[in-house]
Chain A
């Protein structure tokens, strides 16, 4: 407690000097004494903070786990781990703020035309009609997938192999072959299934690196990697910056530089994490680049994790070269190559949680199989998807139709942006385009970019994701997902951006 006692007004006249200083001091000390006696219990004492002490259960039940953290400061006296403390912090990333804004005020053509249009979710909603049709035709009885006769729940209720049913692995291997092109085949025995690609990446990181080690990752990159690679593993992510001039394709020079800089710092680089197709750019790594990276990893004796989760969503004319294709030659040490796949993007089933680790390293497979127990796929879902993926006629039709529809939306959207003078990077895959709005940002900096993002959100009424959320080194780039839109929404989005562009022009 500090009180600044203003002596000026009191010190008037001769005697007043003494009184003028004594009285305020006395008052001050008495005041402090009073406060000490009547202070409410510190959080460290035996009393519970008011919000917890009420025996009224209703209050306990009303406490929302999301909102309470910031208002309460340190909750209770018992500590959580330092790992948890950093994770518990309120999430101020624009990615999440934008998502929240949309859920509070979601655009609807009829009910809420002034709402915010979602372009921040990389989800493919263009082909649900196909999947729904498949379900209505094939799912005779239950969501458990009766496949003709055995309704017995004991078949799927019991403990299953925790790294996935062999039938699903076989079906998945077939599906991945379809997706990655006829030149590639996958061996179910080299597969570990997990509940989503998120745990797949984390498990690989646990297997390939120790706490304090690092992975090199080209920017811009999927922001989820910050969580998947770093949270619980203690592994570091070292960004290797890519630029528009290189079409955001990684160069060996920059990889080498980053590797050496890390070594100087005393940080051991254990591998490279790549996304191919890329997120957020949607670009494809050329065959020569992949070859070069393979060679580089061999030279440095490190691993490569290849996230190919958008491999089935390539709509452009460029070819997607799966890492699996390059491993046919004998002079490559396959034990350093590991792939991640999943059904959240290509098959638009993120809720079902299906991910794949594919590796040529037996030790990694053994460890990953054991670790998969913490992230197993629910058995009814495995059975359902075994059915679906085994229907190769359906999957082929689905993949081809999906590509066509994504391409259509892409072309319309990019053309619309072009009309406003906004160029996009060349994308051949994924659900988004990587738009260069640097001409519109108030200042060529991350701050300027975030200001533009807010304007797009509040004035343009669209939620796009700013490049800084993906660690892009060049300000002004935005990822715009268009597969959650319908064709009619595109002009409205373009109009919103135009409004913001006007505002920027008038203010500059």
Chain B
């Protein structure tokens, strides 16, 4: 059930048919609503994969999962580290080490771990921004971090402005329990989906017209699903905009370590530093180890805020989402090892870049163009020339056979609230190179079939 007009009044959203529970005793609106958004095609594709997962040997005709943004290209580096540094993964010979760790449930988090996170974040940004470990708040994953920030920055009924296309999970993470709305900032392929001041103003006015109070802007940089970094000038414009409107800015930078070339990523932290932290108390950064370090199972996220009140509040609220002290201990050693992290960041970048080039080349030889990307675990593919109808239905009409016949689970742009139909997010880092080649071959075959079907088909490049 795709709700593009999700910023309409609550009543309309809730009016969408949902099966009422058969239990006699009543449940909350949160429990029975579908604001979690998990009925969208984004998640339906996962289901198809779960039922028939591809395996090189045992199920070569299964569905290849290209809808999961997971980074599996650098596991060997992590394993190597853990093998070499047994002391990192034990509590040491002393009795007190384990005991203290097992008892440690302080929402401030292990200081050694916070310091390690701050230093890791600095390294990713090539030392171009400084991070204070006292401003690091730990959460069990970026999912929790984004929700927590929303609870802190906005009241029920308020809104956050989010540029489209965006990560489908935001519909759930930012809205479900918080009661906060998302008002989209529409971006278009004509300028590579960059955020413009006009689009910002338009979104703000949209909200005002509906009597909705805007509390902040949430950007993802590098962007999911675009796989591209936001330019410095755009960041400056966004900062000016939020300052003018006196609202917050959340910058979700969880893919910052997955930029193919270090110099191309500008963090909002760098811009703030250049401005000497003027007006910085409205800015908050979200980070996590799920993408860059490929450890989503560990559930490690962080909020970095330049606002003392937000830091204090987030800390207290993090009681609902603390990271296991065991995990903090383990990662503190690993992330403080500068030699390891430097090598990891460099190697990981390189491998991702290679994968990206592989998929872009493979797609190009099939006649498919993608948005020019420079980061992330996915590419943003343009299949709009293939659509029978330039509508959302036309897009899904293409997505369905992709999933059920070609057996590739890719994410349709409409799930990401893209204003133009025909774009798809394709993940490339959650599989082996061989599997990627298999996927590219399948796409090639599919495209050949389409050409035969449609005769002379000219694929225009963007």
Q: Is B308 an interface residue (CB 8 A)?
A: yes
Beta-carbon contact of A65 and B135 below 8 Å: yes
Segment at the A interface, from B1-9, B193-201, B296-304, B393-401: B296-304
Contact A139:B90 (CB < 8 A) given known A65-B308, A363-B27, A379-B299: yes
Contact A373:B327 (CB < 8 A) given known A143-B91, A151-B79, A199-B321: no
Beta-carbon contact of B312 and A65 below 8 Å: yes
User: Given the complex of chains A and B, what is the CA–CA distance between A213 and B144 in angstroms?
Assistant: 25
Beta-carbon contact of A380 and B327 below 8 Å: yes
Contact A232:B317 (CB < 8 A) given known A88-B312, A364-B27: yes
Segment at the A interface, from B93-101, B182-190, B258-266: B93-101
Contact A128:B89 (CB < 8 A) given known A84-B313, A198-B319, A350-B105: no
Chain A residues lying within 8 Å of B28, measured Cβ to Cβ, are 206-210, 213, 270
Q: Is A13 an interface residue (CB 8 A)?
A: no
Interface centre among A63, A139, A367, by most B CB within 10 Å? A367
Q: Is B361 an interface residue (CB 8 A)?
A: no
Q: What 0/1 pattern do residues 152 to 169 of B give for CB contact below 8 A with A?
A: 111110100000000000
Interface centre among B28, B72, B78, B144, by most A CB within 10 Å? B28
User: Given the complex of chains A and B, what is the CA–CA distance between A13 and B25 in angstroms?
Assistant: 87
User: Given the complex of chains A and B, what is the CA–CA distance between A470 and B24 in angstroms?
Assistant: 33
B216 to chain A: closest CB distance in Å? 9
Beta-carbon contact of B134 and A207 below 8 Å: no
Please name the residue on chain A nearest to B294 by beta carbon: A157
Contact A374:B281 (CB < 8 A) given known A65-B134, A352-B326, A363-B21: no
Q: What 0/1 pattern do residues 384 to 395 of A give for CB contact below 8 A with B?
A: 100000000000
User: Given the complex of chains A and B, what is the CA–CA distance between A208 and B322 in angstroms?
Assistant: 23
Q: Which of B248-297 contact A (CB under 8 A)?
A: 248, 276-282, 294-297
Q: Is B38 an interface residue (CB 8 A)?
A: yes
Contact A63:B298 (CB < 8 A) given known A158-B72, A370-B36: no
Chain B residues lying within 8 Å of A231, measured Cβ to Cβ, are 317
Option from A84, A88, A367 in Cβ contact (under 8 Å) with B31? A367
User: Given the complex of chains A and B, what is the CA–CA distance between A166 and B155 in angstroms?
Assistant: 36
Beta-carbon contact of A128 and B99 below 8 Å: yes
Chain B residues lying within 8 Å of A361, measured Cβ to Cβ, are 21, 23, 25, 27
Chain B residues lying within 8 Å of A72, measured Cβ to Cβ, are 308
Beta-carbon contact of B134 and A157 below 8 Å: no
Chain A residues lying within 8 Å of B103, measured Cβ to Cβ, are 123, 125, 348, 350-351
Beta-carbon contact of B307 and A75 below 8 Å: yes
Q: Is A428 an interface residue (CB 8 A)?
A: no
Beta-carbon contact of B31 and A364 below 8 Å: yes
Beta-carbon contact of A143 and B320 below 8 Å: no
A108 to chain B: closest CB distance in Å? 13
Q: Which of A399-423 contact B (CB under 8 A)?
A: none
Q: Which of A197-216 contact B (CB under 8 A)?
A: 198-199, 202, 206-211, 213
Chain B residues lying within 8 Å of A227, measured Cβ to Cβ, are 319
The size class of the interface chain A forms with chain B is: 35 or more
Q: Is B372 an interface residue (CB 8 A)?
A: no
Interface centre among A78, A153, A336, by most B CB within 10 Å? A78
Beta-carbon contact of B299 and A83 below 8 Å: no
Beta-carbon contact of B151 and A158 below 8 Å: no
Q: 16 additional contacts, CB 8 Å, given A232-B151, A232-B317, A375-B140?
A: A48-B279, A55-B277, A87-B313, A88-B309, A131-B98, A132-B98, A135-B91, A143-B90, A207-B27, A208-B31, A336-B23, A350-B104, A367-B32, A378-B140, A378-B327, A379-B298
Q: Is B323 an interface residue (CB 8 A)?
A: yes
Chain B residues lying within 8 Å of A87, measured Cβ to Cβ, are 313, 316-317
B422 to chain A: closest CB distance in Å? 28
Contact A351:B319 (CB < 8 A) given known A65-B308, A377-B299: no
User: Given the complex of chains A and B, what is the CA–CA distance between A126 and B326 in angstroms?
Assistant: 20
Q: Is A60 an interface residue (CB 8 A)?
A: yes
Beta-carbon contact of A353 and B105 below 8 Å: yes
Chain A residues lying within 8 Å of B82, measured Cβ to Cβ, are 142, 144, 151, 153
Please name the residue on chain B nearest to A344 by beta carbon: B105
Chain A residues lying within 8 Å of B154, measured Cβ to Cβ, are 81
Option from A81, A157, A195 in Cβ contact (under 8 Å) with B78? A157
User: Given the complex of chains A and B, what is the CA–CA distance between A142 and B21 in angstroms?
Assistant: 45
Chain A residues lying within 8 Å of B323, measured Cβ to Cβ, are 195, 353, 378
Q: Is A8 an interface residue (CB 8 A)?
A: no
User: Given the complex of chains A and B, what is the CA–CA distance between A371 and B144 in angstroms?
Assistant: 10
Q: Is A69 an interface residue (CB 8 A)?
A: yes
